[in-house]
Structure 1
Amino acid sequence: MSIELILVMFLIGFLGSFLSGMLGIGGSIVKYPMLLYLPPLFGVATYTAQEVSALAMVQVFFATLGGVWAYRKSDLIDKRLVLDMGISIVIGSLIGAYGSKFIPGEAVNLVYGIMAVIAAVMMLKPGRKENEEGEATGEPLTYPRGIGVGSSFIVGILSGIVGAGGAFILIPIMISVLRIPLRVTIASSLAIVLLSSIGGMTGKILAGQVIWAESTILIVSSLLGASFGAKMGQTAKRGFLQGTLATLILLTAVKVWYDILF
């Protein structure tokens, strides 16, 4: 492996996982295109879609693991919320992943596009500031558990169909529908995505699609990047975090529909 390839993979892992730790997303939205396009752009390697998917899945697991570890002493990860939504999204993603083989590729892309638009609209709609009041009260987190379990199950099915972690739509639901405080949402979503990524990474390993040399570099850089990102997420202003999340999700929606239409 060349030093150039090592540097490119380290950069991809660090930047993607920094965003993951800071914003509470799995990061495949960012990492997949970076892994697909940057190595050939720099002339260091070219990977198939299956190899990129496997590399991204491994990085998602370790990025969320690093983020959760960084948040472990912050009391921002709500264990009941993680169990409620984490278990149901895993079950839903298994169903969606299995059922995706019966769905035409065009329909899968359409589902992804619709999910991205819904997420962007939910993040951009006004009236979310009041849920931040609960961050400093120390009171137990309250939310409609039935809606939380049901919505994460549906997100899991859709995410399983399109092969995404689902955090980009799960986070807007947690903020806008369940009224979860932003920082609790970011920290808890990392733990939820960590649970949902276990099955995906295991499947990629069993399928023999993981390239271990590159994956090792991504693992190291992911743990470093996620740790720094999580620390910034705990101290950054809420407006900055909200704006960055909304921008990332909106750009995702634009890219998905551009790919569908053109």
Structure 2
Amino acid sequence: MDMLNIIAMLLIGVFGGFISGLVGIGGAIIIYPAILLLPSLLGAPVYSAYIASGLTSSQVFFSTLSGSFKARKKAEFSPKLVMNMGGGMVIGSIFGAMLANLFNATFINTIYIIIALVALLLMFIKVKSVSQEVRFKPVLLILVGFVIGVVSGIVGAGGAFIIIPVLLVLFKLPMNTVVTNSIVIAFISSIGAFIIKFIQGYIPIESAIFLIIGSMLFAPIGLKVGSRVPDIVQKSIVSILIAIAIIQLVF
């Protein structure tokens, strides 16, 4: 493998892992274009869109896995929240993937843009957080996770960034609680995509290994830093990432 590609994969993995831990998302909306663009900027061989998608799924899977181990040790971690919403997302994403063939690309992108815009608007709604996790209704968590999963499955992209504004506004959770649990939910929702891409042969091991190393090393660091970063900073980062996702689809 070309040394420049190794450097590119390590850099992308480090950045993606850190962002995953910092704000509790998989980071695919940043990692995917980075894999397509960074190697060429360094003068290294470029990856196809299919391979970039596969490598992205591996980065998201392992960075959220690494961050999840750290998140489970935190006081804010809620197994009930994770299993209900995560379970709903997995089922929804499978259903959404099956529906995807019924729609054309323009319709799919339009739906995703609308959902992303709603998520972005939710980030600017000020809601007083509560900490009574016992108020959660499992059925509502599953239904919300299912809807997010369906959208994610239809568009073929991660929906983890949608989880954050939903948990902040709909369930009125503190930012630290949201970040801690959303990264575990993101891990659960990433399992299917990673397995499918691996079976399809879109994850070259020699490239993925360096991407994964960087991600797994820096996701826990990002999570630790995130617990000390003001809520407004974390919300700003999430808002920027959502805006980037919208811009990618529009242009």
Question: Per the shorter chain, which TM-score range?
Answer: over 0.9
What's the counterpart of residue 155 of structure 1? 148
RMSD of Structure 2 on Structure 1 (CA): 1.4
TM-score, normalised relative to structure 2:
0.95
1:74 is paired with a residue of what secondary structure? coil
Post-superposition offset of 1:7: 0.9
Amino acid at match of 1:154: V
Matched, 1:107 2:107: yes
Counting only pairs closer than 5 Å after superposition, residues 35-50 of structure 1 correspond to structure 2 as 35-50=35-50
| Aligned partner of 1:183 among 176, 186, 206 | 176
1:26–1:187 distance in 2 versus 1, CA, 3 Å? same
Q: CA deviation at 1:233?
A: 0.9
Distance (whole Å) between structure 2 residues aligned to residue 208 and residue 5 of structure 1: 19
AA paired with 1:163? G
Amino acid at match of 2:61: F
The equivalent position to 1:172 in structure 2, one of 162, 165, 177, is: 165
Secondary structure (helix, strand or coil) at the match of 1:165 reads coil
Matches within 5 A, 1:221-232: 221-232=214-225
Q: How does 1:63-78 map onto structure 2 within 5 Å? A: 63-78=63-78
SS of equivalent to 1:200: helix
Match runs of 1:1-262 below 5 Å? 1-125=1-125, 127-128=126-127, 130-131=128-129, 134=131, 140-257=133-250, 259=251
| TM-superposition CA deviations, 1:139-181 (whole Å, max 9, x none) | 5443343332211101100100111121111111111111122
Conserved 8 A contact 1:27-1:60 = yes
Conserved? CA contact 1:77–1:191, under 8 Å = no
Distance 1:83 1:151 in 2: 13
Displacement of 1:199 in angstroms is 0.9
Q: Which runs of 4+ in 1 moved over 4 A?
A: none
Aligned-partner SS, 1:235:
coil
Q: How far does residue 198 in structure 1 lie from its aligned partner after superposition?
A: 0.9
Q: CA offset at residue 121 of structure 1?
A: 0.7
Q: Is the 8 A contact 2:25 2:186 kept in 1?
A: yes
Code of the aligned partner of 2:145: S
Identical-pair percentage: 34
Name the stretch that deviates more: 178-187 or 154-163. Answer: 178-187
The offset of 1:46, in angstroms, is 1.1
